């Protein structure tokens, strides 16, 4: 049994049932034993591939697009590119190297800010980015409220924020939040006596046709992050690249059990309660809710597309300006945009404040 599992069992013995959000938060973000607090490899030797682990092209394409956005802003001032969820700093390194080499004027006027609450991850990032003097770290979006003129972005961050699980009881016509308890030494799902967050709000006509035990995940943390990032953005763009779909897409007859899943050794499995701290846990982002949060903060939606569509448009502009890719870049581009690899799995969502 993992150390986190022992702690969670002790907490359940003291408190009784806990929300799945609390279970997921401890599993992923425990400062010492959480999945993301450990120096785990990504790629072939890890539990999953990311766009960053494919190679440096992903960061180079993002750098090109960020540069074009910054060119549209008033000159004569410093600009900020803010990354949240920077993991070990690999993507930041690719972006900064590309900007320094290909966009020296923009690079000279750019401040690269990283939002990182974890001291351990910040240390990894500082080691990787120590060659750059224009990188600063902050613990939260609150520290840069209203200060960003440029771009705020995240890559595969919001899908890993803790979620609450709600299951529809057709006979009683009510939502039940599912929590976690222990039975025969194993973690199990149980119905909580009362919800620990606001329950799903669906139209009455939809509730009439929902099947019994239809399951949805709610992520208050992701919505709060988007609201905080919106408030940090004085002018420019807010972008996330992540697993997810719109509200309408999520309401599929083939998705009655929700999108919650775990990853370990490149295999996806639904056993999210197994070995906390040793496997990644994720749930799809609801982009419809993000859009509403941004609109309430005065942002306008600029783009919602697949990663493939976004990168193909960006790559076309790169080819037009700089010439064709190398063979190695072509191979990376194919992986990043292929619908069976990463191209269709990830969505790109951008809102702007002019």
Residue 199 forms part of a structural domain: no
Residue 86 forms part of a structural domain: yes
What percent of the chain is predicted at pLDDT more than 70?
Answer: 95
What percent of the chain is predicted at pLDDT more than 90?
Answer: 82
Determine the pLDDT at residue 269.
84
Residue 204 forms part of a structural domain: no
CA dist 182 → 23, 32, 276 (Å): 12, 23, 13
Region of poorest pLDDT, from 91-95, 117-121, 127-131, 298-302: 117-121
Q: C-alpha 112: how far from its chain's center?
A: 19
Mean of pLDDT values over 259-280 = 88
Mean of pLDDT values over 87-114 = 97
Half-sphere exposure of 86 (CA within 13 A, CB side): 38
CB of 37 closer than 8 Å to CB of 118 = yes
Determine the pLDDT at residue 58.
96
pLDDT exceeds cutoff 70 at 67: yes
Residue 314 forms part of a structural domain: yes
Mean of pLDDT values over 270-279 = 93
Residue 333 forms part of a structural domain: yes
The Cα 239–Cα 307 span in angstroms is 12
Q: Read off the CATH number of the domain in which 111 is found.
A: 3.40.50.12710
The Cα 172–Cα 305 span in angstroms is 38
Residue 24 forms part of a structural domain: no
What band does 343 get if pLDDT is binned at 50, 70 and 90? very low
From the CA atom positions of the chain, what is the Rg in Å? 21
Half-sphere exposure of 245 (CA within 13 A, CB side): 15
Residue 210 forms part of a structural domain: no
Interacting residues of 158 by C-beta distance below 8 A, sequence separation 6+: 219, 222, 225, 226, 240, 242, 244, 285, 290
Across the chain, mean pLDDT equals 92
Mean of pLDDT values over 281-299 = 97
Q: In what helix (H) or strand (E) does residue 121 lie, and over which residues does it extend?
A: helix 119-128
pLDDT exceeds cutoff 70 at 300: yes
Determine the pLDDT at residue 77.
77
Q: b/e for 159-192, b at 16 or more Cβ within 10 A?
A: bbbbbbbbbbeeeeeebbbbbbbbeeeebebbeb
The Cα 127–Cα 39 span in angstroms is 13
**Is residue 50 exposed (0-12), middle (13-18) or buried (19+ Cβ within 10 Å)?**
middle
pLDDT exceeds cutoff 80 at 117: yes
Strands 186-191 and 261-264: unpaired
pLDDT exceeds cutoff 80 at 344: no
Mean of pLDDT values over 6-29 = 96
Domain residues for the domain of 148 are: 40-159+219-248+284-353
pLDDT exceeds cutoff 90 at 352: yes
Residue at token pair 């890993």? 160
Instruction: Domain count for the chain, please give it.
Output: 1
What band does 339 get if pLDDT is binned at 50, 70 and 90? confident
Determine the pLDDT at residue 223.
98
Determine the pLDDT at residue 341.
58
* Span 238-256, pLDDT tens digits: 999 999 999 888 887 677 8
pTM (two decimals): 0.94
The Cα 134–Cα 111 span in angstroms is 5
Determine the pLDDT at residue 250.
86
Mean of pLDDT values over 174-187 = 96
pLDDT exceeds cutoff 90 at 342: no
Residue 270 forms part of a structural domain: no
CA dist 29 → 22, 35, 261, 287, 319 (Å): 10, 7, 17, 23, 40
Region of poorest pLDDT, from 237-241, 287-291, 342-346: 342-346
Q: C-alpha 69: how far from its chain's center?
A: 22
* Span 20-61, pLDDT tens digits: 999 999 999 998 889 988 866 554 545 557 899 899 999 999
């Amino acid at each position: 049994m993992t150390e986190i599992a022992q702690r969670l069992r002790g907490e359940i013995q003291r408190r009784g049932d806990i929300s799945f959000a609390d279970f997921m938060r401890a599993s992923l973000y425990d400062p010492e034993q959480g999945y993301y607090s450990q120096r785990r490899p990504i790629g072939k030797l890890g539990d999953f591939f990311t766009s960053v682990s494919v190679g440096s092209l992903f960061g180079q394409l993002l750098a090109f697009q960020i540069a074009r956005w910054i060119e549209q802003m008033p000159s004569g001032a410093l600009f900020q590119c803010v990354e949240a969820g920077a993991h070990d700093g690999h993507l930041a390194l690719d972006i900064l190297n590309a900007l320094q080499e290909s966009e020296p004027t923009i690079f000279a006027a750019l401040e690269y800010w990283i939002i990182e609450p974890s001291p351990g991850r910040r240390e990894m990032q500082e080691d990787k980015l120590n060659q750059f003097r224009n990188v600063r770290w902050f613990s939260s979006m609150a520290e840069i409220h209203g200060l960003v003129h440029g771009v705020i972005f995240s890559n595969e961050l919001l899908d890993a924020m803790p979620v609450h699980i709600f299951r529809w009881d057709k006979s009683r016509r009510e939502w039940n939040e599912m929590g976690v308890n222990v039975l025969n030494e194993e973690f199990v799902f149980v119905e909580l006596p009362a919800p620990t967050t606001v329950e799903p709000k669906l139209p009455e006509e939809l509730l009439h046709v929902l099947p019994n035990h239809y399951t949805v995940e709610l992520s208050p943390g992701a919505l709060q992050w988007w609201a905080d990032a919106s408030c940090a953005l004085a002018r420019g763009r807010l972008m996330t690249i992540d697993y997810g779909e719109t509200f309408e897409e999520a309401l599929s007859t083939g998705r009655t059990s929700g999108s919650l899943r775990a990853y370990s050794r490149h295999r996806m499995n639904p056993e999210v309660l197994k070995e906390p701290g040793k496997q990644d846990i994720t749930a799809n982002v609801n982009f419809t809710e993000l859009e509403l949060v941004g609109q309430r903060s005065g942002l306008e939606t600029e783009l919602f597309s697949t990663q493939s569509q976004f990168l193909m448009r960006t790559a076309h502009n790169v080819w037009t300006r700089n010439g064709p890719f190398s063979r190695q870049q072509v191979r990376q581009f194919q992986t990043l945009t292929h619908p069976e690899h990463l191209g269709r799995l990830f969505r790109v969502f951008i809102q702007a404040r002019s």
